[in-house]
Amino acid sequence: MKVAVPKELQEGENRVALIPDACAKLKKAGIDVVIQEGAGLASSHTDHEYTEAGATVESDASTLWANADIVVKVAPPNVDSAGQNEIEMVKSGGVLITFLDPLTEFDRLRKLAAKQVTAVSMEMIPRITRAQSMDALSSMANIAGYKAVLLAATHLPKIFPMMMTAAGTISPAKVFVIGAGVAGLQAIATAKRLGAVVSGYDVRPAVREQVESLGGKFVEMELATGGAEDKGGYAKEMGDEFIRKQREMMTKVVAEHDVVITTAAIPGKKSPVLITADMVKVMPEGSVIIDLAAERGGNCELTQCDKTIVEHGVTIMGPSNLPGTVPFHSSQMYSKNIQTLLLHLVKDGSLNLDMDDEITAGCVVTTRGEVVHPRIRELMQLPELKKPEPAAAESQPVSESSKSSEGDKS
């Protein structure tokens, strides 16, 4: 079983899918790792470290992709300097494990299915106890929440903690975090550690205890929040009237804070606009907004993705890939997610697609020439797939010999 780790092509992507320590552990399980030359350098891992861990270093990207049974990446398939798309580089019948943005990038899924690729989406790992060590979204959200606070502290013309000095007492900065998911809770904890007075808000009232356990004050808003959370633990999209009332109440809260960090995202949907341009006007001069939902349009009306702007005296930042700015530890965490998932999917040298398993069924989005994930098929307006007969073999060796049966896949 050969697992390949190519160099990331996306601009600003400094993470690597597997670190040397993971390669050594996978080798003990009978999985050989081949890494593209220099793939780990941006995350501070040399080729020598990989060879010491038992991995093979390959200089040619085309050879790497062509000989791989499974390719593991961080960013979705991209186009290299020669104009070749990574979707074309993955071999027919092979396996691709990476972030795929599958709830919106349907054309990508169609192309992967057409190539008979088994595509595994890291975004779709179910949020269940058994899959926690594979949950890359949570891993990366932890990093993003931490780094967002550091960005805010750097750009705010104040310091975070209260200080009593001979020159007088310095009041602590006030930080407001909107959205108490993984990123939001980490932002609350980090801001609190830096000495700020921290408040948090979420449409899901159940997270109040979590906010308060980290030393934050939960902001109360008299809104009907029933049904604000889906079964996966994510916030659900709320109606226009709810959003309007929420903005009215939030204007007063925002005006009292030096830093606002927004993390409200809905999987597969545009980010809800929670901070309008008028709300920005009432914020204190020199205050900072860090919008972690920028990639999906942003929670602030004025946010520009991957840009820093100043409007009405307020600095607004919309970073789309904060984990990529902390590549050493981001790679360490993501690598653990990938390693655990590989050990779950590969049994005795073969890819074991047990679609009755909740984890496998949750993250496999294409296989055998079809988009197979029920939720994604519904979004793509595809008919429901018939469940295969029990006698159909789901365990498929990933080898050259498996290519002979590709014509039978449907």
CB contact at 8 A, 109 and 119: yes
Helices (H), 35-92: 47-52, 61-66, 86-89
Note whether 54 and 24 are within 8 A (CB).
yes
| 273's tokens | 């606009």
Helices 327-345 and 136-155: crossing angle in degrees, nearest 10, is 170
Place of tokens 């990933």: 398
How many Cα atoms occupy the beta-carbon half-sphere of 202 within 13 Å?
A: 30
The amino acid present at 244, given as its one-letter code, is R
Phi, psi angle pair for 404, to nearest 5°: -65, -20
Beta bridge partners of 72: 97
- Quick check: 93 and 403 in contact, CB under 8 A? yes
Cβ-in-10-Å burial (0-12, 13-18, 19+) of 49 comes to middle
**How many other CB atoms are there within 10 angstroms of residue 307's CB atom?**
11
Name the residues annotated as catalytic.
127, 132, 135, 138, 234
The CA distance from 146 to 186, in Å, is: 6
Contacts (Cβ under 8 Å, ≥6 apart) of 318: 291, 294, 298, 300, 303, 304, 305, 306, 307
Question: Sign of dihedral through CA atoms 387, 390, 396, 402?
Answer: negative
Contacts of 58 (CB under 8 A, 6+ apart): 4, 34, 35, 36, 37, 64
Number of other CB atoms surrounding residue 171 within 10 Å: 12
Pair of tokens at residue 264: 């409200």
What is the C-alpha separation between 43 and 40, in angstroms, rounded? 5
